[in-house]
Amino acid sequence: MNNNIKIVRSLVQELRRVSQTKNTKENAMLHYVMEQAHAHKETSEVLCKAREELKNLAEMYLCYLKSQRACKDIHKQYAGKGERSIKETADLVGFKLPHDPK
């Protein structure tokens, strides 16, 4: 159960980063995730078959959101900004120019 809480927390954190609205009470995505998490809570009285399906779906969405954020960061870093100087290009790929101290 502790692993499920970590997944839900990570998912909520990623949704907050992606969200356009800063107010969490008005965020429909967060409401849906929390409703689904509460609806599929493990209890000793009920054995829910969909519990594992929900966990796998949550992990998949979490991976998707993290990958989208990483893709945007990479695109922002390496996107073409027109002409770059030789020094900027060398810094971008991790090289040093010959006159730079080592």
3-state secondary structure of 61: helix
pTM of the model: 0.61
pLDDT for 53-79, tens place per residue? 777 888 898 999 999 999 999 888 877
Tokens found for residue 33? 């995730």
C-alpha distances out from residue 47 to 32, 39, 43, Å: 22, 12, 7
pLDDT for 19-49, tens place per residue? 777 777 777 888 888 888 777 766 544 565 5
Neighbours of 35 (CB within 10 A): 10
Nearby residues of 44 by Cβ (< 8 Å), 6 or more positions away: none
